[in-house]
């Protein structure tokens, strides 16, 4: 069976699944339950030195649901821990003693002054924790106080604070990056310049998920008022994957270890993050949606897939997809696909025809000779994949690759301006 044991920047855990710094890791009771369920590690909910952290006593979460009521996005306005620092540190120390094989990383956020960081680092070291994570990503509450994403959006601040911490502790330092920035490579480079051992991303996306049209206030609504919060869950996964890939393929940060975060719900999600360069993954919303035992499905699923594909350990999948991420201008425009409808699976709903007719290339016909029947017009199909995306039946419509610019089903040439892409003048890698 595949070996899921993980060693991330020297921190060992029995599997690559960690709980992210969030409400599920706020106290020992939760963390112990997580370890009993099988989680490989946790990042303890963010600690700070401010004794006056007060969270709202009303709704802290806003949700986005799919049509079948599945939770696809969660908005969070909760601040860092409001529990006393001493109690948190005592609990961290005890849990690490009781669970020495599990990873415990402590998330930190204090005012942007060197002494503040030095003071809290000394206290965290005494717990025996495996490392620290600098929270430069929280987009609400603390950013308004000059912490969180207000630091993470300024590369110079990231480098400065990271350097302070590296000079003040021997613990591994992970820098948690905010997605609320135009180019994630610059904060990652700054973290590396400051001496970071790794980065983790993404933190939550600044958001308002909905408006209560009765009270006319954003959700979650607190006595008729609302605030922007941090968005997480399956909906942010595409954003997270792109940012992980951007760091992994950047020449300056290509060797910087990455802990992947953002909408990881299944083993497949985790495998995708690791294939794009993440050394391990952190999970929050899935645990808050399904409970801690969801990790058992992640572990089993990843093991079975790795066995099936012949991957003996995590190193054999980490970064495997990164070389295949490229800029648009390097894509092969001579690669041509056409949509194919499996008539045995088709339920004749007509969605493919409607969207292609109204919004794409009028490449799907509708025959009404006693019943609905849909066929692809090969000459008009540009292989855009929209019909596949909207079809409610899995694998009913597939994209079939054409060879040598000829449609094998009709033996007719496919008109393509870029047929000779390797020598086309628009190709920056042209060989002519």
Residue 63 predicted with pLDDT over 80: yes
pLDDT tens, position by position, 190-230: 999 999 999 999 998 889 889 989 989 998 888 888 888 88
Helices marked H in 139-258: 149-152, 155-168, 185-193, 237-249
pLDDT at 404: 57
What is the arithmetic mean of pLDDT over 326-353?
92
Q: How confident is the model at residue 141 (pLDDT cuts 50, 70, 90)?
A: low
Number of separate helices (H) and strands (E) present in the chain: 12, 22
Q: Which fold has domain 6-324?
A: TIM Barrel (3.20.20)
Closest CA to 180 of 144, 157, 218, 152: 152
In this predicted structure, the answer to whether residue 424 has a pLDDT above a threshold of 70 is no
Neighbours of 220 (CB within 10 A): 21
The pLDDT score that the predictor gives to residue 333 is 82
Q: How confident is the model over 354-401, as pLDDT tens digits?
A: 999 999 999 999 887 777 899 999 889 999 999 999 999 999 999 998
User: Helix, strand, coil proportions of the chain in percent (round to 5)?
Assistant: 35, 20, 45
Beta strand 397-402 with 205-207 is: unpaired
pLDDT value for 302: 98
What average pLDDT does the segment 31-39 reach?
A: 98
Q: Tokens 């904060």 correspond to what residue?
A: 187
Angle CA(245)–CA(250)–CA(256) in degrees, nearest 5?
Answer: 80
Give me the pLDDT at residue 237, please: 97
**pLDDT attached to residue 421:** 46
199 φ/ψ angles, rounded to the nearest 5 degrees: -120, 155
- Ranking 104-108, 300-304, 336-340 by mean pLDDT, the lowest is 336-340
- In degrees rounded to 5, what are phi and psi of residue 222? -115, 100
- Sorting pLDDT into bands at 50, 70 and 90, what band is 137? confident
Residue 397 to residue 340: CA distance in whole angstroms: 6
8 Å CB contact between 74 and 63: yes
Task: Give 303: exposed, middle or buried? Use CB within 10 Å, 0-12, 13-18, 19+.
Answer: middle
Examine the pLDDT at 304 and tell me if it is beyond 70: yes
- Dump pLDDT digits (tens) for 270-295: 999 999 999 999 999 999 999 999 99
| DSSP SS3 for 384 | coil
Cα of 134 vs its chain's centroid, Å: 18
**CA 79 – CA 333 distance, rounded (Å):** 48
> Residue 429: its pLDDT value, please?
53
Q: End-to-end distance of the chain based on CA atoms, in angstroms?
A: 49
The residue extents of the domains of the chain are: 6-324, 329-423
Answer whether residue 174 shows pLDDT above 70. yes
The confidence score (pLDDT) of residue 407 equals 55
Q: What is the DSSP letter of 344?
A: T
Alpha-carbon gap, residue 17 to 4, rounded angstroms: 10
In CATH, the number for domain 329-423 is: 3.30.70.20
Residues facing 401 on adjacent strands: 337
Region at 179 (left for phi over 0; alpha for psi -120 to 50; beta for the rest): alpha
Q: Is the pLDDT of residue 251 over 50?
A: yes
Radius of gyration of the chain measured on its C-alpha atoms: 25
Q: Which residues form the catalytic set?
A: 138
- Residue 279: CB atoms within 10 A of its CB come to 21
pLDDT of residue 126: 97
Task: Give dist(CA 247, CA 392) in Å, integer.
Answer: 35
DSSP labels for 230-248? EEESGGGHHHHHHHHHHHH
Identify the bridge partners of residue 350 per DSSP, sorted by sequence position.
none
Quick one: pLDDT at residue 414? 55
Q: Is the model's pLDDT at 418 over the cut of 50? A: no
**Fold match between domain 6-324 and domain 329-423:** no
Question: Rounded CA gap, 382 and 147, in Å?
Answer: 49
Sort strands 406-407 and 412-413 into parallel, antiparallel or unpaired.
Answer: antiparallel
On the 0-12 / 13-18 / 19+ scale of CB atoms within 10 A, 123 is: middle
pTM of the shown model: 0.90
For residue 271, what pLDDT is reported?
A: 98
% of residues, the chain, pLDDT over 90:
69
Q: What is the pLDDT of residue 419?
A: 47
Show the DSSP H helices in 180-223 as ranges: 185-193
> Average model confidence (pLDDT) for the chain?
90
């Amino acid at each position: 069976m595949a070996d899921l044991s993980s060693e991330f920047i020297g921190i060992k855990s029995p599997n690559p699944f960690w709980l992210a710094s969030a409400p599920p890791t706020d106290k020992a009771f939760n963390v112990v339950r997580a370890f009993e369920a099988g989680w490989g590690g946790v990042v303890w909910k963010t600690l700070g030195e401010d004794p006056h952290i007060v969270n709202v006593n009303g709704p802290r979460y806003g949700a986005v649901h799919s049509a079948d009521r599945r939770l696809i996005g969660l908005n969070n306005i909760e601040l860092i821990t409001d529990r006393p620092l001493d109690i948190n540190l005592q609990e961290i120390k005890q849990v690490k003693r009781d669970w020495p094989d599990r990873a415990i990383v402590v998330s930190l956020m204090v005012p942007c002054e060197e002494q503040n960081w030095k003071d809290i680092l000394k206290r965290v070291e005494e717990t025996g924790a495996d490392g620290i994570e600098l929270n430069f990503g929280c987009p609400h509450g603390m950013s308004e106080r000059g912490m969180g994403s207000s630091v993470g959006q300024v590369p110079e601040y990231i480098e400065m604070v990271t350097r302070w911490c590296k000079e003040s502790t021997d613990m591994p330092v992970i820098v948690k990056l905010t997605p609320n920035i135009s180019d994630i490579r610059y904060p990652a480079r700054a973290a590396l310049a400051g001496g970071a051992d790794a980065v983790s991303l993404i933190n939550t996306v600044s958001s308002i998920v909905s408006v209560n049209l009765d009270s006319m206030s954003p959700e979650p609504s607190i006595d008729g008022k609302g605030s922007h919060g941090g968005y997480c869950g399956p909906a942010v996964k595409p954003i997270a994957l792109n940012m992980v890939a951007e760091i992994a393929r950047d020449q300056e940060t290509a060797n910087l270890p990455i802990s992947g975060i953002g909408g990881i719900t299944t083993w497949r999600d985790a495998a995708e993050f690791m294939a794009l360069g993440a050394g391990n993954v952190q999970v929050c919303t899935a645990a808050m949606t399904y409970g801690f035992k969801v990790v058992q499905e992640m572990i089993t699923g990843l093991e079975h897939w790795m066995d099936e594909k012949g991957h003996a350990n995590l190193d054999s999948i980490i970064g495997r997809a990164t070389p295949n991420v490229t800029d648009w201008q390097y894509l092969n425009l001579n690669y041509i696909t056409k949509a194919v409808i499996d008539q045995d699976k088709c339920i004749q709903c007509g969605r493919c025809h409607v969207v292609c007719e109204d919004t794409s290339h009028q490449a799907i016909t509708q025959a009404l000779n006693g019943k609905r029947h849909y066929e692809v017009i090969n000459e008009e199909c540009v292989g855009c994949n929209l019909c596949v995306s909207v079809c409610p039946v899995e694998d009913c419509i597939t994209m079939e690759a054409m060879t040598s610019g000829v449609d094998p089903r009709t033996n007719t040439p496919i008109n393509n301006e870029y047929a000779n892409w390797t020598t086309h003048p628009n190709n920056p890698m042209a060989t002519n």
